[in-house]
Amino acid sequence: MHLSGSRFIAAGAVTLFVALMLAGWWLTRAPVLAVTGTQLNQPVPDIPLTDQDGQPFRLSDLRGKVVVVYPFLTDCREICPMTTAAFIKMARALDAAGLRNEVALLEVTVDPERDTPERLHAYAELSSASWTMLTGSPKNLGRFWAFFGVSTERTAIESPGPIDWYTHEPATYDVGHTPALMFIDAQGNERIVLVGTADVGRQLPSQLEAMLSDQGRQNLAAPQQPWTVEQALDDVGVLLGRPIPTNGNS
């Protein structure tokens, strides 16, 4: 039996906890850890970051929009390609609904050592991403993810490691991280957290599927605590105050 993704929702002064499946929370490629220390309905700190074009970025630049944030790394082979595919579907649904100017999708790295703006730009082109990807200094990204309660863990890879799609050299390390979508309202407050793995119907664009490891292919076929594009769009709709048609994108 599959469990739906764990969702925390804060509405006004009342925090509503839905489906508290804590035992199922886990890191991609690392020991089980949960989103911790996060208090919803709090303003997200305005930490300086850098986008895939090398331009400075702050969340305050998006004030007035609903923002969806996902922690990722471009060399992820287990879960992140599924989230990127889910973002592709979400972007299409937002475009079809005429809401793209009201919602921002962000993939933010947990691997600042490798994920330079140039590499993020290459990943965006590879995946046909039409949204913002962000990196930054280790210090700033550490502060950013600490606010959201996202855990990261760098682990060495035994030689020979898998070939890095960007450098074409064997990878020497991996970064496990908490798989979670964070939803920020138009006033800049974190309001919803959806924890789990994107269920994209066992289908990925070929360029993303080619990145998957054996574990990634297992996750694609049977995602842990799956959340769907429809669920994510429903959460965006809650913060927008209007439903978003999915047109079969889930």
Is the CA virtual torsion 163, 166, 168, 169 positive or negative? negative
What pLDDT was estimated at residue 246?
78
Distance CA 189, CA 18 (A): 19
Burial class (CB in 10 A: 0-12, 13-18, 19+), 198: buried
The CA distance from 67 to 189, in Å, is 10
Structure confidence by residue, pLDDT tens digits, 42-68: 999 999 999 999 999 999 999 999 999
- Those residues whose C-beta lies under 8 Å from the C-beta of residue 151, and which sit 6 or more positions away, are 27, 33, 34, 35, 36, 145, 177, 178
pLDDT at site 141: 98
Rounded distance between C-alpha atoms, residue 5 and residue 225, angstroms:
5
Per-residue confidence (pLDDT) for residue 165, from 0 to 100: 95
pLDDT at 233: 96
DSSP, collapsed to helix, strand or coil, labels residue 202 as coil
Q: What is the pLDDT of residues 207-224, one digit of tens each?
A: 999 999 999 999 999 998
Sign of CA dihedral 90, 191, 7, 210: positive
Each residue's pLDDT, cut to its tens digit, for the chain (250 residues) gives: 233 456 666 543 233 333 333 323 333 333 223 344 456 889 999 999 999 999 999 999 999 999 999 999 999 999 999 999 999 999 999 999 999 999 999 999 999 999 999 999 999 999 999 999 999 999 999 999 999 999 999 999 999 999 999 999 999 999 999 999 999 999 999 999 999 999 999 999 999 999 999 999 999 999 989 999 999 999 999 999 999 987 654 4
Q: Where are the beta strands (DSSP E) in 157-231?
A: 173-177, 180-184, 189-195, 197-198, 226-227
User: What is the structure's pLDDT at 51?
Assistant: 98
